């Protein structure tokens, strides 16, 4: 099993494939290399477009596979095309620029404390959440 630390903060996606019993194929390697070139997030379309050799279906199948392995997040701006982003942190939240679509991640300790506290105000058992902040990033901002 491949355990080389390809980057210090991101999981080794090839190893993820192997550890989950998926084959390491040409198309999958191409897709993964492409994802790693887009630290600010990407759309499925962008990936498919830049990999003309790989079929759209395979792109979607691979994205779904990575979503299932919890190393990829899908998030949607209201009314926009969904954007995907490789996960850096184990548990984190996202910022999405409403102008350029750039996706960022953050991990706020304040947030973690809140999530624990909020349970008592909610009727039922919390099994997950979706927390996105819509921002104007420093490049697009005023």
Site residues, DNA (CB under 7 A): 22-28, 43-45, 53-58, 60-62, 64, 74, 79, 81-82
Name which of DNA, its own copies, none residue 100 binds, using a CB cut-off of 5 to 8 Å depending on partner kind.
none
Q: Which residues bind its own copies (CB under 8 A)?
A: 74, 76, 78, 95, 97-98, 104, 106, 108, 110-111, 114, 117-118, 121-138, 140-142
Smallest gap from Cβ 65 to DNA, in A, equals 8
DSSP string, 108-124: -HHHHHHHHHHGGGSSS
Distance CA 69, CA 12 (A): 12
Handedness of CA 103, 64, 76, 132 (dihedral sign): negative
Q: Which of its own copies, DNA, none is residue 86 near (CB under 5 to 8 Å by kind)?
A: none
The answer to whether 31 touches 44, Cβ cutoff 8 Å, is no
| For its own copies, the closer CB: 34 or 137 | 137
CB of 11 to its own copies, least distance (A): 20
The CB-of-31 to DNA minimum distance in angstroms stands at: 8
Nearer to its own copies by Cβ, of 28 and 93: the residue is: 93
Phi, psi of 63 (to 5 degrees): -60, -45
Q: Is 21 left (phi over 0), alpha (psi -120 to 50) or beta?
A: left
């Amino acid at each position: 099993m491949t355990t080389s630390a390809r980057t210090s903060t991101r999981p080794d996606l090839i190893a993820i494939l192997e550890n989950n019993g998926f084959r390491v194929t040409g198309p999958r390697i191409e897709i993964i290399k492409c994802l790693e070139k887009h630290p600010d997030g990407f759309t499925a379309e962008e990936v498919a477009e830049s990999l003309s050799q790989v079929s759209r279906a395979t792109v979607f199948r691979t994205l779904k596979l990575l979503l299932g392995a919890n190393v990829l997040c899908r998030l949607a701006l209201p009314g926009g095309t969904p954007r995907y982003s490789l996960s850096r942190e184990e548990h984190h939240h996202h910022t999405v620029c409403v102008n350029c679509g750039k996706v960022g991640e953050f991990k706020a300790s304040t947030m973690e404390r809140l999530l624990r506290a909020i349970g008592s105000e909610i009727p039922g058992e919390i099994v997950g959440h979706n927390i996105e902040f819509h921002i104007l990033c420093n490049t697009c901002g005023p």
